């Protein structure tokens, strides 16, 4: 049976179903069940070995072409080029290999959450045994500090609270009880009578019967989701794979046709073979994978400086393509620190400034600052919150104890220090809904301070303190104020006191009566600084923010409204449970707040969003988030509060747990994608021009303007000297004001394709023009090829400036990239070397050229710069699309 059913079954019936007893199973019965059901541990998925995973990185059409190019260059004794190409292939394989295995690591982290030992009743005796040996029907004893070893149906609790943040993401400990829940216990937060494996007991004592072990626990179910989750390819990787296939097919077909046409024209077999080799070498962008990898690596470093740690390199770009961010609330959008924001005393509602566990803040009444000590009713309300409290302030924004009590302590410290010696205590009990402490006043008298739910406190009160004297209790006014504060997503607690005789040294529950009501304190987990602006930036950037949380719907909706998340209402886990996929798809178009959700709910939402064509980023910190993190296009875990399971399942880790850092990372991701498009825009036309010049020569029976070795030289020198500096290009202005590119948009847009064709033809025309001009002027073949070689090189340099922006004019930013200027200087030096150095002349079949040749080269090659800028002008005027 599923855990959702155990919470609705009375504990005595659970004992019957498992044929167990509150004194535990016998040793023989436990051994029998262990043999039948197996050990209480999460199974790991069998993974392929490291050799297989490494070899799998070579399964790419572009890699196949690079390997063929390496073989050809080796066959031609061009060993340096062979080494360069193989280095590129190997570097990409190593990067891909490192990216593998996230699920395996996540499952290992899950296994560590199952504690090594547990205290169990067997045959009425308390024993400690390995948690691996737990079986269904066992009775487990719990106390503060224990990590729960299996999923338990509780049948006894004494002030029991559990920290379930690894499952729910919510920081406030959950009060546990034993009563069966009649309906609606689908989410973790609603299952008050279940203790889940891996959660931590923060207070009290309890006993529970094991209802699920190993893979049957919630942790086990989550591990199953992780095992079933497929490795997700990023949008860029998918588009690069598609482009690689197309590019590979085109190159192979054109090279084969060139060879066939050459044979039909009666050319020598070895000559046409060399021409086909030249074509393949010219067209294959050997440096493209390396330059793209460098671009991503630079993005990784820039993101790290903005508190975003990238675990998988392609995640850099994917963040930039996100159209939806599904975010947790607690700790990501909010500070994960409860803060008192309103105090009600003597009929006045005070606003409290400051956030988190920083004792700096002011008290405002109708917007004006007031001295809290001057109002005795306010002072007594704050004092009650401080004294009836077990939390302690450690300084530097740190609290020991319950977050709710921490918030009350800090609100009191904002007014001053309150201290009275504590004499006795009535601890908080979920059934009673209050806590009381007995204190000694400075004059020797005694006073009881009580805090609890407003309804309970009002039941215990007979009068109300108005700041000067005790008067009638305004039940209606207090109740209305409490309800108004609660509607603002505040957690509200009531405060009261009672003067007692000096000789009283102990208090019992029956002493908590005839109280004097003093006030209310309302607290919330406030939004982080800057998160509202970050949500606004997402909206400007065309990115939708969806909140998926384990908190209550009213709280989630109030926070969403406060920080600017646009939504038409909200949905709870109960709503999702009965809603078919088609209806949920429709609601997902307008609803952006989902509360009291389970891991299955979050995973389902992510899957449906992806089916709707969205590029989905998901944030999370608990193990309940791991399946969705792994299934999303981009998983983002929290570096501070995140569990190891969440981190291992994610692509990105936020070092500061701040949603604002995601927006900064989106900006960097868009910049990376923009640079990759610029790299493609520059690389493919220049390689295409080189390859097309070979095709034209074969088709028209002309002399080859370049030999294979010259083509390899050109590709190698330009890929490093000109291609890499593109990755250092400054970020374009207004990159976050653009909408996300459509998920189905190809990486080679219509504009890029148009420029590839236009620039390729322009390079071919210019190279042949100067090639034949040199021959007509009496130059030998080597000199003419040297002119053609330098013409193509300068075409690439001038087009490099055009490629600084796909859409905008580049006149203002011609010299903004110092690395580009340095790269051009190095390439020019190398070109002079290959043109005039005798040894290089003999190796590369080049020859010195005249100064007049350089003028022709510059005049012809510079045409590309002016024509492309004119094309941008036509595009801005709407003549081109």
State mean pLDDT over 364-388.
93
Q: What is the pLDDT of residue 60?
A: 63
Query: Are 546 and 695 found together in one domain?
Result: no
Domain span at 447:
339-524
Are 597 and 188 within 8 A, CB to CB?
no
pLDDT in tens, 394-417: 776 778 778 889 999 999 999 988
Give the dihedral sign, CA 763/769/772/773: negative
Query: Residue 297 domain-assigned?
Result: no
User: Percentage of the chain surpassing pLDDT 70?
Assistant: 84
Query: Do 520 and 533 share a domain, yes or no?
Result: no
Number of domains in the chain: 4
Classified as helix, coil or strand, 703 is: coil
Residues 820 and 851 in one domain: yes
Residue 746 belongs to some domain of the structure = yes
pLDDT per position as a tens digit, 309-349 = 776 656 666 778 889 999 988 778 887 788 999 999 999 99
Residue that is last in its domain, among 524, 542, 562: 524
Of residues 428 and 351, which shows the higher confidence score? 351
> How far is residue 239's CA from residue 673's CA, in Å, rounded to a whole number?
12
Dihedral of alpha carbons 385, 386, 388, 394, sign:
positive
> What pLDDT shows up at residue 104?
42
Predicted confidence at residue 787, as pLDDT, reads 97
Instruction: Give me the mean pLDDT over the 45-64 stretch.
Output: 65
Residue 67 lies in a domain: no
| C-alpha to C-alpha distance for 695 and 276, rounded to whole angstroms | 8
CA distance 707 to 282: 10
CATH value at residue 363: 3.40.1110.10
Residues 683 and 287: beta-carbon distance below 8 Å? yes
Bridge partners (DSSP) listed for residue 175: 161
CATH, residue 575: 3.40.50.1000
Distance CA 327, CA 619 (A): 5
Instruction: Tell me, yes or no, whether 302 lies in a domain.
Output: no
d(CA 832, CA 848): 9
| Pair (24, 147) in one structural domain | yes
Q: Are 336 and 171 in contact (CB under 8 A)?
A: yes
**Residue 594 bridge partners (DSSP):** 548, 571
83, part of any domain: no
Q: Are 350 and 687 in contact (CB under 8 A)?
A: no
Q: Cβ atoms within 10 A of the Cβ of 270, count? A: 8
CB 334 within 8 A of CB 555: no
Least confident of 71-75, 387-391, 703-707, 833-837: 71-75
Report if pTM > 0.85. Answer: no
Question: pLDDT at position 62, please?
Answer: 60
User: Can you say whether residue 171 is alpha, beta or left, with left for phi > 0 and alpha for psi between -120 and 50 degrees?
Assistant: alpha
Neighbours of 833 (CB within 10 A): 13
**Do 536 and 505 sit in the same domain of this protein?**
no
Q: If we measure between CA atoms, which residue out of 613, 538, 624 comes closest to residue 573?
A: 624
Mean pLDDT of the chain: 83
C-alpha angle 875-879-881 in degrees, rounded to nearest 5: 55
Do both 855 and 756 map to the same domain? yes
Question: What is the tens place of the pLDDT at every residue in 561-579?
Answer: 989 999 999 999 889 989 9
**How much is the average pLDDT of 434-443?**
90
pLDDT higher than threshold 70 for residue 1: no
490 and 393 co-located in one domain: yes
Q: Does residue 84 sit within a domain?
A: no
* Residue 334 DSSP code: B
DSSP state of 181: P
CA-to-CA dists, residue 344 to 50, 353, 559, 598, 795, angstroms:
63, 14, 21, 36, 75
d(CA 660, CA 346): 40
Backbone φ/ψ region at 343: left (φ over 0), alpha (ψ -120 to 50), beta: beta
- Of the candidate ranges 538-552, 687-701, 800-814, the one whose mean pLDDT is the lowest: 687-701
What is the CATH classification number for the domain harbouring 684? 1.20.1110.10
The two three-digit tokens of residue 606, written as one number:
């992510």
Q: Which of 524, 544, 577 is the last residue of a domain?
A: 524
pLDDT at 429 over 80: no
The secondary structure element, H or E, covering residue 87 is: helix 79-99
Query: Rounded distance, CA 391 to CA 406, Å?
Result: 6
H/E stretch holding 771 reads helix 750-776
d(CA 549, CA 555): 10
End-to-end CA distance of the chain: 60
Q: 686 falls in which pLDDT band (50, 70, 90)?
A: confident
Residues 519 and 611 in one domain: no
Q: Select the highest-mean-pLDDT range: 176-190, 280-294, 701-715.
A: 701-715
Mean pLDDT over 843-861 rounds to 94
Same domain membership, residue 494 and residue 376: yes
Is 319 in the same domain as 272? no
Tokens of 477: 């006014």
Distances (CA, A) of 333 to 490, 546, 598, 657: 16, 11, 19, 9
Residues 211, 715: contact at Cβ < 8 Å? no
Q: Which of 182, 208, 228 is the last residue of a domain?
A: 228
Q: For residue 639, how many other CB atoms are within 10 A of its CB?
A: 18
Query: In angstroms, rounded to a whole number, what is the distance separating the alpha carbons of residues 377 and 373?
Result: 9
Catalytic amino acids?
A: 328
Say yes or no to pLDDT of 106 above 50: no
One domain for residues 138 and 244: no
Asked if the model's pLDDT at residue 73 lies above 70, the reply is no
CB 821 within 8 A of CB 721: no
Helices 659-699 and 235-264, interaxial angle, to 10°? 0
**Rounded distance between C-alpha atoms, residue 339 and residue 330, angstroms:** 13
Question: Is a pLDDT exceeding 50 seen at residue 125?
Answer: yes
Same domain? For 37 and 137 the reply is yes
Least confident of 23-32, 100-109, 205-214, 864-873: 100-109
Confidence (pLDDT) at 57? 64
The C-alpha atoms of residue 220 and residue 37 are separated, in whole angstroms, by 14
Higher-scoring residue by pLDDT: 274, 782: 782
Query: Which candidate, 496, 552, 497, 564, places its Cα nearest to that of 525?
Result: 552
How many angstroms separate the Cα of 275 from the Cα of each of 287, 458, 772, 790? Answer: 21, 94, 19, 20
- Residue range 718-741, pLDDT digits in tens: 877 888 888 888 888 888 888 887
Q: Do the domain assignments include residue 467?
A: yes
Q: In this structure, are residues 388 and 451 in contact, taking their beta carbons and an 8 Å threshold?
A: yes
Mean pLDDT confidence for 602-624? 88
What is the rounded CA–CA span in Å between residue 681 and residue 751? 9
DSSP code for 864: H
Which is higher by pLDDT, 37 or 59? 37
* pLDDT at position 211 over 50: yes
* 501: CB partners within 8 A, 6+ apart: 446
On whether residue 63 sits in a domain, the answer given is: no
The CATH number given to whatever domain includes residue 158 is 2.70.150.10
pLDDT of residue 608: 96
Q: What is residue 834's predicted lDDT score, i.e. its pLDDT?
A: 95
Q: What is the SS3 assignment for 469?
A: coil
């Amino acid at each position: 049976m599923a855990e959702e059913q155990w919470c609705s079954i009375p504990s005595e019936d659970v004992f019957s179903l498992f044929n167990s007893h509150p004194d535990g199973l016998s040793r023989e019965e436990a051994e029998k069940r262990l043999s039948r059901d197996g050990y209480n541990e999460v199974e790991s998925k069998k993974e392929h070995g490291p050799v297989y995973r490494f070899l799998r990185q070579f399964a790419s059409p572009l890699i196949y072409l690079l390997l063929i190019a390496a073989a050809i260059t080796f066959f031609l004794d061009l060993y340096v080029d062979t080494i360069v190409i193989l280095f590129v292939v190997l570097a990409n394989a190593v990067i891909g290999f490192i990216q593998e295995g996230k699920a395996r690591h996540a499952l290992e982290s899950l296994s560590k959450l199952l504690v090594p030992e547990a205290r169990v009743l067997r045959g009425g005796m308390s024993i400690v045994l390995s948690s691996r040996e737990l079986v269904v029907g066992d009775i487990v004893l719990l106390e503060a500090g224990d990590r729960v070893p299996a999923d338990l149906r509780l049948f006894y609790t004494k002030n029991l609270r559990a920290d379930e943040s690894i499952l729910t993401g919510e920081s406030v400990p959950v009060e546990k009880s034993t009563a069966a829940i009649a309906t609606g216990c689908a989410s973790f937060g609603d299952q008050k009578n279940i203790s889940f494996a891996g959660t931590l007991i923060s207070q009290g004592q309890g006993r529970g019967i094991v209802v699920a072990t190993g893979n049957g626990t919630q942790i086990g179910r989550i591990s199953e989701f992780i095992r079933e989750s497929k490795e997700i390819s990023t949008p860029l990787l998918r588009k690069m794979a598609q482009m690689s296939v197309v590019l590979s097919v085109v190159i192979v077909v054109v090279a084969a046709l060139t060879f066939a046409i050459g044979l039909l024209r009666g050319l020598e077999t070895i000559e046409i073979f060399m021409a086909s080799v030249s074509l393949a070498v010219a067209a294959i962008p050997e440096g493209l994978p390396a330059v793209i990898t460098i671009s991503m690596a630079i993005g990784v470093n820039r993101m790290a400086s903005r508190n975003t740690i990238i675990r998988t390199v392609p995640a850099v770009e994917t963040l930039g393509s996100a159209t939806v961010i599904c975010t947790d609330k607690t700790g990501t959008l909010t500070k994960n620190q409860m803060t008192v924001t309103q105090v009600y005393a003597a009929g006045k509602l005070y606003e409290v400034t400051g956030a988190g566990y920083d004792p700096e803040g002011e008290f405002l009444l109708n917007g004006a600052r007031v001295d809290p000590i001057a109002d005795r009713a306010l002072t007594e309300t704050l004092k009650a919150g401080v004294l009836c409290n077990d939390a302690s302030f450690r300084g530097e924004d740190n609290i020991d104890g319950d977050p709710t009590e921490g918030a009350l302590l800090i609100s009191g410290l904002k007014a001053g220090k309150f201290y009275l010696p504590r004499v006795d205590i009535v601890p908080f009990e979920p059934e009673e809904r209050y806590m009381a402490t007995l204190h000694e006043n400075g004059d020797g008298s005694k006073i009881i301070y009580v805090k609890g739910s407003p309804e309970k406190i009002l039941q215990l009160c007979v009068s109300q303190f108005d700041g000067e004297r005790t008067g009638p209790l305004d039940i209606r006014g207090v109740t209305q104020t409490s309800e108004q504060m609660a509607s603002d997503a505040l957690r509200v607690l009531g405060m009261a006191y009672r003067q007692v005789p000096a000789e009283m040294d102990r208090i019992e529950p029956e002493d908590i009566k005839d109280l004097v009501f003093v006030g209310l304190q309302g607290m919330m987990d406030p939004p982080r600084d800057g998160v509202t602006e970050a949500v606004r930036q997402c909206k400007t950037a065309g990115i939708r923010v969806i909140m998926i949380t384990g908190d209550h719907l009213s709280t989630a909706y109030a926070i969403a409204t406060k920080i600017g998340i646009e939504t038409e209402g909200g949905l709870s886990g109960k709503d999702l449970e009965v809603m078919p996929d088609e209806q949920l798809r429709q609601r997902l178009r307008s609803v952006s707040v989902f509360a009291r959700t389970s891991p299955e709910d979050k995973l389902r939402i992510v899957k449906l969003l992806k089916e709707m064509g969205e590029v989905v980023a998901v944030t999370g910190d608990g193990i309940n988030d791991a399946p969705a993190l792994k299934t999303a296009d981009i998983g983002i875990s929290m570096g501070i509060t995140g569990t190891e399971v969440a981190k291992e399942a994610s692509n990105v880790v936020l070092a500061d747990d701040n949603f604002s850092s995601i927006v900064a990372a989106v900006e960097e991701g868009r910049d990376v994608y923009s640079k990759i498009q610029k790299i493609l825009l520059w690389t493919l036309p220049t390689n295409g021009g080189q390859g097309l010049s070979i095709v034209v020569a074969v088709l028209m029976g002309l002399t080859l303007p370049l030999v294979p070795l010259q083509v390899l030289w050109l590709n190698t020198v330009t890929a490093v000297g000109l291609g890499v500096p593109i990755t250092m290009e400054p970020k374009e202005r207004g990159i976050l004001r653009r909408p996300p590119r459509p998920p189905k948009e190809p990486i080679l847009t219509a504009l890029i394709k148009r420029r590839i064709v236009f620039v390729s033809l322009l390079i071919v025309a210019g190279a042949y023009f100067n090639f034949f001009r040199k021959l007509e002027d009496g130059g030998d073949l080597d000199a003419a090829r040297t002119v053609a070689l330098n013409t193509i090189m300068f075409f690439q340099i001038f087009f490099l400036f055009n490629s600084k922006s796909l859409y905008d004019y580049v006149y203002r930013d011609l010299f903004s990239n110092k690395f580009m200027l340095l790269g051009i200087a190095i390439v020019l030096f190398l070109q002079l070397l290959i043109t005039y150095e005798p040894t290089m002349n003999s190796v590369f079949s080049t020859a010195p050229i005249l100064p007049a040749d350089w003028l022709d080269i510059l005049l012809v090659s510079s045409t590309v710069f002016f024509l492309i800028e004119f094309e941008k002008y036509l595009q801005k005027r709407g003549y081109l699309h």
